Structures are given as structure tokens and as C-alpha cells.
Structure 1
Amino acid sequence: MRNLPDWMEHLDDEDLNFIKKFVLASGSLKEVANLYGVTYPTVRLRLDKLIQKINLQKDQSSDSYVSLIKKLALDDKVDFETAKFLITEYKKVKEEV
């Protein structure tokens, strides 16, 4: 059996199911929206969050604090403006040291 790529190992079942439906719908967000019974913008937002989650995996090897803040923002625990502020301030302090 093949090992999953790193970016897939950290996705939950809901994310993998969304990817499967997206691929089976030939990448049609409109069709995926119909499958889920939601609007196109809702599916677009879901896809954008999934893309951010995958990109976050690439950043995991970098600073763990920044990765944590990004993950909190993706999980809606912190809003994006607050996350950007925390990361910016953290980087300023880190540069001073």
C-alpha cells in the first residue's frame, strides 16, 4: 500500500470527502454546491480554507508559533486580522532578539 503524501495525512475525513466529491465533479464548484445543497460561495469558501490548510502543511517545518496561529485562524478559533497582527508582532519581537 502506498503512503499518503504529507499534505494529505493531516486532513480530516470531511476534507478528504470534499476532495473526492470535487474530483468526481470534474472540479465543478457548482456541481459540488448542488451535491452539498449549499450555495456556490459557500463551496468556494470551503475550497479556499482547504487550500490554506494544505499550504499550512508546507509551512509546518518553519516557525511552530506562526504555524499554530495560522491553524487557529483556519479553525475559526482566531479571526484572520488578529492572526495577521499576532504573526506580525511576533516577527518584530523575534527580529529584535
Structure 2
Amino acid sequence: MRRKAQEWIYNLSDEDITFIKNFVMSSGSLKEVAKLYHITYPTVRLRLDRLIQKMQMNDQIENDAYISLIKKMVIDDQLDFDTAKILIKKYREQKGE
């Protein structure tokens, strides 16, 4: 379990880790995080949602090289989450899964 926890955190950027730290230090208050970053609440919510998506994608990385590449691109912010889901779905349909 400890190794799995380490894997997801290694795939986050330093900026993501700082955001998580600030979120925890603000007792999970998105309003406090918004004040800290001088941004709006919806912007913080969007940032948190994207971070959650990155973490979910990391948990779902598979042995299939193509799917792993797509998921890695999402984690690295090179591809958005919705596009990745479409590509993976189409790929699996073509493979007959």
C-alpha cells in the first residue's frame, strides 16, 4: 500500500503538491485557498477537480502501452481528461474489449 501511495504522488508536479499542502493547511477550505492564491472560488474548485482527475488516472494505469501513454499524458497535463476517456474508449472498442 505504501508503494502505491508513493507512485501517485511522484506523478504530481511540485505545484500540485504545494496546492495539496495549502489545501490541507487551510483545513480543506476552498475559500481559504482562493484567498491564499488570490483567485476565485470556482478557479480553485476547477484546480482541485483537475488534481483529482490526475490522481484517478494514476490509479487506473494499465499494462497496455497505448492506454498507459494516454494516462501519463493526462497526468503530465499534455492531454485533457475528457479527450483521454474518448481515446481510450475508442481504442478498447477497436480491440473488442
**TM interval, short-chain normalised:** 0.7 to 0.9
Match of 1:7 in 2: 8
* Equivalent pair of 2:57/2:74 in contact (CA under 8 Å): no
RMSD: 2.5
Q: How does 1:14-93 map to 2 (within 5 A)?
A: 14-73=15-74, 75=77, 77-78=79-80, 80=82, 82-93=83-94
Asked which structure has the greater CA Rg, the reply is: 1
**Higher RCO structure (Cα 8 Å, ≥6 apart):** 2
**Distance in 1 between the 2:17 and 2:81 partners?**
24
Q: Specify every segment of 5 or more residues in structure 2 that has no aligned partner in the other structure, as ranges.
A: none
- Cα distance in 2 between the residues matched to 1:19 and 1:78: 20
- TM-score (normalizing by structure 2): 0.78
| Unaligned residue ranges in structure 1 (runs of 5+) | none
Give, in angstroms, the shift of residue 79 of structure 1: 7.1
Distance of aligned partners of 1:6 and 1:70 in 2 relative to their CA distance in 1, 3 Å threshold: closer
Distance 2:27 2:94 in 1: 46
Q: Which amino acid aligns with 1:16?
A: I
